[in-house]
Structure 1
Amino acid sequence: MTPTRIAVIGGSGIYDIDGLEGAKWVQVATPWGKPSDQILTGTLDGVEMAFLPRHGRGHVHTPTSVPYRANIDALKRIGCTDVISVSACGSFREEMAPGDFVIVDQFIDRTVNREKTFFGTGCVAHVSVAHPTCPRLSDACETAARDAGINVHRGGTYLAMEGPQFSTLAESRMYRESWGADVIGMTNMPEAKLAREAELCYASVAMITDYDSWHPDHGEVDVTQIIATLTGNADKGRNLVARLPALLGSERTPCPHGCDRALEYAVMTAPEARDPELVAKLGAVAGRVLA
């Protein structure tokens, strides 16, 4: 058994966690640069919690400029075991309506301007992201959402686009009709890939704000409508998060799906050929297998 420390990465509209005991903002230094913001730490119902506003307080980072590697490294560095991503998204499905939540289980990565791995020349690794989210953690998020009275859909494919612009009508139709995506957002990639490299359990809670641009009765994305829906979704998101400590408990066993052992056979570079400088940078995320 190891202590549980739940990390919440809050997206648009969610900038803190209610009810934390001993709450304090801490600065965490990483070899990948500064995280999006300081990390809010404390306990909730006896379980250690950490909250990181993905875009920074005041929403200063674009989806592209979010320092994803620094964020994941910082959470791993302070002992987080489970990462819940909460983010706004658009919907490609009539039944997945604005105000609903989706527990995402698959991704299509269309981002092009982001660093997507901790590894590189001098220390090469390949992890599997065939199943990029943790079913155990997703179960807890689904239960928490239902207990909070949220209309939640279990399972869905998240199309991660670069942004910051929203989709064209042609893109929206392609993602929906040809590619089979269910929701669209700008921030879960490479976040989910990096969490897997850092051997962190990761779950994605997508909060629907709009129907993107494919819907004949809604037209193009209306930012004022999105902001209005965000306010209601943020309250629901905080209610979901508040229920997680009781569901996950203060101690945990090894992940039954192997998320916390993702690097077991992933590092390909022979020890004598590894770049010492890169290995030093990987201390927090991969020290278990590089030591």
Structure 2
Amino acid sequence: MSTRLGIIGGSGIYDMDGLEDADWVQVDTPWGPTSDRILTGTLDGQPMAFLPRHGRGHVHAPTDVPYRANIDALKRLGVTDVISVSACGSFREEMVPGDFVIVEQFIDRTFARQTSFFGSGCVAHISFAHPTCARLSKAAAEAGRAAGVTVHEGGTYLAMEGPQFSTYAESRLYREAFGADVIGMTNLPEAKLAREAELCYATVAMVTDYDCWHPGHDAVTVADVVRVLTSNAENARALVRRLPDLLGTRPEICPEGCDRALDHAILTAPAARDPALLARLDAVAGRVL
């Protein structure tokens, strides 16, 4: 089965040498406008779609990113596999600024976001015990190491609401009591929505700082984050460049079950489903509706 890869990330990711037939396209969704137009093209024969999560120029705060529209738009474009590339803080001494962490688990501490495509009129409960696709995560780790990056596999990402960074008490709580490895503001509800849309999803978290728990480092600042992000941009592009060779063909059925997440998830009886909501779900859940 052919793959169409979607990359969600920042400006350092979509500025990609070798992208052929590049075109910024607008995708209309029933969930409103996306963060920005989506850059489509072909890289080494692999169809690609690059979505700036915060919009070009970083115009969307983490809470205000139109997560539902973004995932819906990628699904409409035929994307099958999504790699999220995002900045994060580290709770582990060995996960130093500049390292990449391939996330395996999430802890959700967000509270002001729309977290589902479903709701009154069509209720669904997906399985989210294993929120990332092991096949995609393995490919991302292999691509990162081939690019010369220090890669850590199997981390737990704590998603906070933001936009403020953590207090010292919160940072210690998340590190010591929750056992999180990295912290960020953007991968949830993104990962949940990708699962509802039956897309394979993996996260490459780029460590920019030690949050504020570390006794040998000052509290995190935007300047610190931007400095490391800038230096990591080429590493991120190098990782993405290696993905087409690793993900050129895709199993007909995802071994992790990502592409069948809705098989037994929808509880609302067909006669009781809201036609207006069903119309909005045409791309996300059309396979089962």
**Structure 1 length as normaliser, TM-score?**
0.97
| Separation in 2, partners of 1:282, 1:17 | 32
Q: Shift of residue 11 of structure 1?
A: 3.6
Q: How far is 1:144 from its partner? A: 0.1
CA deviation string 1:27-61 (max 9, x = no partner): 00000000000000001111100000000000000
Deviation of 1:286 after TM superposition, in Å, equals 0.1
Kindly state the Cα deviation for residue 251 of structure 1 after the two structures are TM-superposed: 5.0
Deviation (angstroms), 1:225: 1.9
* Aligned partner letter, 2:245: A
The aligned length equals 289
State the 1:238 CA deviation: 0.6
What TM-score, normalized by structure 2, do the two folds share? 0.98
Partners of 2:16 and 2:72 lie apart in 1 by 21
Given that 1:10 and 1:16 are in contact with CA atoms closer than 8 Å, whether structure 2 keeps it comes out as no
Residue 88 (structure 1) aligns with:
87
Mapped pair 1:122 → 2:121: yes
Q: Secondary structure at the match of 1:199?
A: coil
Q: State the partner residue of 2:170.
A: 171
Unaligned residue ranges in structure 1 (runs of 5+): none
Which residue identity is paired with 1:274?
R
How big is the alpha-carbon RMSD for the aligned residues of Structure 1 and Structure 2? Answer: 1.0
The share of aligned pairs that are identical, in percent, is: 73
- SS of the equivalent of 1:105 reads strand
Aligned match of 1:32: 31
Separation in 2, partners of 1:212, 1:133: 24
> Which amino acid in 1 is paired with 2:26?
Q
C-alpha offsets along residues 213-248 of structure 1, whole Å, 9 cap, x if unaligned?
A: 000010211322221111111111110000000001
Q: Does structure 2 conserve the Cα–Cα contact (< 8 Å) formed by 1:46 and 1:250? A: no
Segments of structure 2 that go 5 or more residues without pairing to the other structure are none
Q: Counterparts in 2 of 1:211-230, with a 5 A limit?
A: 211-230=210-229
Match of 2:287 in 1: 288
Question: Are residues 252 and 22 of structure 1, via their aligned partners in 2, closer, same or farther at CA, if it must alter by over 3 Å?
Answer: farther
Three-state SS of the structure 1 residue aligned to 2:204 is strand
Aligned partner of 1:210 in structure 2 is 209
Q: What does 1:102-251 align with in structure 2 at a 5 Å threshold?
A: 102-251=101-250
Is the contact made by 2:12 and 2:236 (CA closer than 8 Å) also made in structure 1? no
> Which is further off, 246-255 or 73-82?
246-255
After TM superposition, give the deviation of residue 16 of structure 1 in Å.
3.4
User: Which residue type is aligned with residue 24 of structure 2?
Assistant: W
C-alpha separation in 2, matches of 1:111 and 1:18: 35
Deviations 1:154-187 (A, max 9, x none): 0100000000110000000000011000000000
Inter-partner Cα distance in structure 2 for 1:252 and 1:17: 27
1-side partners of 2:18 and 2:206: how far apart?
22
In structure 1, C-alpha distance between the alignment counterparts of 2:250 and 2:132, rounded to whole Å: 20
Question: Counterpart of 1:85 in 2: which secondary structure?
Answer: strand
Contact kept in structure 1, 2:157 and 2:183, CA below 8 Å: yes
| SS of equivalent residue, structure 1 residue 288 | coil
